[in-house]
């Protein structure tokens, strides 16, 4: 019997079970997600390791309450904030001193926390304005009067400069303008606001990145909102540096469908290719290891930077890193999803081409570093068996009937406030290489469980 594994993949010999599974042929396997070792899609960037809000405020200073390891070990990449849900109501209701100033200070503290860990900071002016809940007494451009909006932006721009916030800054023109919760005015008024604000920021802060339109609804070919926005953006030369939208909930499809639609619309309006931020992803019930793998796989496949949504309120919004950490006896501890992001952060090397299951409610993300392949797999809220098919092994010299060792880990979830330890190290299993593939069965015990697989790519 031949085993193909690198010794470090088996820390404890007790975990080895030399079970050889028959490998069925690939043709008729339902719910199959595929990894193709032949094709790399570029070096790893940990694109999905962001969250909105989630850092505790600390005056105007960086926070120190959440220990460094919880932030660094997931390779934190970006946060997004603007002082929402604190005692000060924002510019529109409270003016500069009573409404705006404390919100700006909260944003500045979060900016400094993000920069302390090398992450990007995406500023949310709609929160500085105080538009959450749609209840602001005034929106930019009401009655065709833009003077308050200009006063507001001149203040934000001055504060950003005075506080040295330019490094790593993205200004996100307005959050979810397609939802009355954040923009209780017409789409036309939003589009004009977008165009005017972009010109104003570009004139004052030419090096700062702008993102937009950050819609609640992901792009689709029949969206009149997206078409009107693209048309005005093209006509006024106000293309953002980063296109942005949200992917929240099963009703919103997924990047496999929304990115091709977006690219078609972009081509129709002659807009250039630019990076994409999905600057909120995941409904609150979609924040667990299975769904996190699902979103990570979709985002990575399309080279999209992603930030987890944040469903907390009040001071909890400014805490818990977007539901990744819990508090136990006053100490921050990892929850089950954090363990998944930590594993993801350790998936270094080259990202590989992958294909989601055909429906596509099951997905995989895979990387290769030299002779080690790492794969994570998860469903979109479903407890459903499936198969992970790995192709392209013949180019590494594998031949029919070779046995290939696979080490598996399970990622459990017990809710956002439950501490979960390291992923569970499961038995080491070998599979037979047949007809150009190996097929690994996927059988989640719950609809929130994810698995990882480590495979040595060396014939012995």
Q: Which region, judged by CB under 6 A, interacts with ligand NAG, from 59-67, 95-103, 168-176, 301-309?
A: 59-67
Identify the residue among 15, 61, 358, 414 touching ligand NAG (CB under 6 A): 61
Q: Which region, judged by CB under 6 A, interacts with ligand NAG, from 8-16, 170-178, 232-240, 264-272?
A: 232-240
Q: Min. distance of Cβ 250 from ligand NAG in angstroms?
A: 8
With residue 193 as reference, give the H or E element that holds it. Answer: helix 187-204
Identify the residue among 148, 256, 261, 346 touching ligand NAG (CB under 6 A): 148
* Binding letters toward ligand NAG, positions 30-49, x by CB under 6 A: ------x-x-----------
Q: Which region, judged by CB under 6 A, interacts with ligand NAG, from 20-28, 141-149, 264-272, 304-312?
A: 141-149
Under the criterion CB under 6 A, does residue 385 sit at the interface with ligand NAG? Answer: yes
Q: Which residue is nearest to ligand NAG (CB)?
A: 235
Identify the residue among 93, 189, 236, 257 touching ligand NAG (CB under 6 A): 236
Under the criterion CB under 6 A, does residue 252 sit at the interface with ligand NAG? Answer: no
* Binding letters toward ligand NAG, positions 438-457, x by CB under 6 A: -----x---x----------
**What sign does the dihedral 109-114-116-120 (CA atoms) show?**
negative
Identify the residue among 329, 395, 399, 401 touching ligand NAG (CB under 6 A): 395
The neighbour count for residue 270, using CB atoms within 10 Å, is 8
Rounded to 10 degrees, the C-alpha dihedral 380/454/280/84 comes to: 120
Give which of 119, 376, 312, 107 is closest to 324, Cα–Cα: 312
Q: What is residue 324's three-state secondary structure?
A: coil
Structural contact between residues 216 and 223, judged by C-beta atoms closer than 8 angstroms: no
d(CA 386, CA 104): 48
Under the criterion CB under 6 A, does residue 163 sit at the interface with ligand NAG? Answer: no
Q: What is residue 187's three-state secondary structure?
A: helix
**Concatenated DSSP letters of 6-70:** -GGG-S-GGGEEEEEEP---STT-SSEEEEEEEEEEEE---TT-EEES-SPP-TTSPP-SS-HHH
Give the distance from CA 119 to its chain's centroid. 13
Identify the residue among 15, 18, 25, 64 touching ligand NAG (CB under 6 A): 64
Find the binding residues for ligand NAG in span 172-231 (CB under 6 A). Answer: 191-192, 195, 231
Q: Are strands 16-21 and 424-432 parallel, antiparallel or unpaired?
A: parallel
Residues making contact with ligand NAG (CB under 6 A): 36, 38, 58, 61, 63-65, 145, 147-148, 191-192, 195, 231-232, 235-236, 381, 385, 391-392, 394-395, 443, 447
């Amino acid at each position: 019997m031949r085993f193909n594994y690198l010794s470090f993949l088996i820390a404890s010999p007790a975990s080895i079970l030399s079970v050889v599974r028959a490998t069925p042929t690939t043709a008729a396997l339902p719910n199959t997600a595929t990894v193709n070792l032949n094709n790399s899609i570029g070096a790893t960037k940990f694109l999905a390791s962001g969250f909105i809000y989630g850092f505790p405020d600390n005056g105007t200073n960086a926070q120190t309450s959440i220990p460094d390891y919880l932030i660094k070990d997931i390779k934190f990449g970006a946060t997004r904030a603007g002082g929402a849900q604190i005692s000060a109501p924002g510019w529109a209701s409270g003016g500069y001193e009573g409404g705006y100033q404390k919100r700006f200070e909260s944003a500045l503290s979060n900016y400094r926390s993000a920069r302390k860990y090398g992450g990007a900071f995406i500023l949310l002016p709609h929160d500085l304005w105080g538009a959450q809940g749609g209840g602001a007494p005034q929106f930019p451009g009401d009655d065709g009067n833009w003077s308050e909006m200009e006063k507001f932006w001149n203040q934000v721009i001055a504060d950003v400069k005075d506080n040295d916030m330019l490094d790593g800054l993205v200004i996100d023109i307005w959050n979810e303008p397609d939802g009355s919760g954040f923009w209780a005015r017409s789409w036309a008024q939003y589009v004009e606001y977008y165009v005017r604000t972009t010109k104003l920021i570009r004139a004052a802060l030419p090096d700062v990145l702008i993102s937009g339109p950050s819609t609640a609804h992901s792009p689709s070919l029949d969206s009149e909102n997206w078409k009107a926005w693209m048309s005005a953006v093209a006509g006024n030369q106000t293309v953002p540096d980063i296109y942005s939208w949200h992917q929240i909930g099963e009703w919103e499809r997924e990047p496999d469908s929304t990115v091709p639609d977006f690219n078609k619309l972009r081509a129709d309006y002659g807009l250039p290719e630019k990076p994409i931020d999905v600057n909120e992803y995941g409904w609150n019930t979609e924040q667990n290891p299975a769904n996190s793998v699902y979103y990570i796989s979709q985002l990575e496949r399309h080279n999209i930077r992603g930030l987890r949504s944040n469903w907390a309120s009040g001071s909890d919004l400014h805490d818990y890193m977007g539901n990744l950490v819990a508090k136990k006896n006053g100490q921050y501890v990892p929850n089950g999803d954090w363990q998944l992001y930590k594993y993801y952060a350790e998936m270094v090397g080259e990202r590989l081409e992958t294909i989601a299951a055909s429906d596509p409610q099951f997905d995989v993300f895979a990387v290769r570093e030299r002779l080690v392949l790492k794969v994570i797999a998860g469903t979109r809220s479903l407890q459903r068996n499936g198969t992970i098919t790995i192709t392209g092994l013949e180019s590494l010299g594998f031949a029919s009937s070779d046995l290939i060792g696979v080490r598996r880990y399970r990622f459990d979830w017990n809710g956002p406030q439950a501490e979960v330890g390291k992923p569970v190290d499961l038995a080491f299993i070998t599979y037979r290489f047949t007809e150009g593939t190996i097929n690994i069965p996927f059988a989640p015990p719950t609809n929130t469980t994810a698995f990882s697989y480590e495979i040595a790519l060396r014939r012995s």
